[in-house]
Amino acid sequence: MARAMDTESRSLQVAVLTVSDTRTEADDTSGQYLVEALRGAGHGLADKAIVRDDIYQIRAQLSVWIADTGVDVVLVTGGTGFSGRDSTPEAVRPLFDKDIDGFGEVFRALSHGEIGSSTIQSRALAGFANNTVIFCMPGSTGACKTAWNGLIREQLDSTHKPCNFVGVLNVRAGEH
């Protein structure tokens, strides 16, 4: 658990990565939703990118943001299924210092109410890498809304009780 809550909300710097072989800035509705949601919650957009569903392109972009002390959070949308080239979990998991197992578990539980048993085809995951929290969710805008509204928004809110990841980021920053 994180240390004591802030009484005032703290703004984080968040990067958004869309993993897709077909999306462009013009039709990246999931990435755009996440940008609007994080800004609506009072956070800043550190950067936004779209990369092909390729393990090394995903890792390259994430590595830049993980190494940047100005990026607190990365939201990744896409590449978490079992189709074709879906490779986000394989690309991201080796970068984690610590896994956040509960994210994928709770995401699938929330998603089950929306899409039924098809939720088992989601490999949503999250973890910490170099004091950066990374959330990976499916590429549909609906899945991004489920993840943001059901989990991520509150965990990036420094006033959310009984605990949130802002407190963990603060504690981990003190360790480095």
Classify 56 as helix, strand or coil: helix
Q: Is the pLDDT of residue 3 over 50?
A: no
pLDDT tens, residue by residue, 50-61: 999 999 999 999
H/E element, 4: none
* pLDDT above 80 for 167: yes
Whether 44 has a pLDDT exceeding 90, the answer reads: yes
Q: Which fold has domain 13-175?
A: Molybdenum Cofactor Biosythetic Enzyme; Chain A (3.40.980)
**DSSP β-bridge partners for residue 17:** 49, 76
Higher pLDDT, 10 or 155: 155
Query: Could you report the per-residue pLDDT of 15-33, keeping only the tens digit for each?
Result: 999 999 999 999 999 999 9
| Whole-structure pTM value | 0.93
Q: What percent of the chain is modeled with pLDDT above 90?
A: 85
**For residues 76 and 88, what is the distance between their CA atoms, to the nearest angstrom?**
8
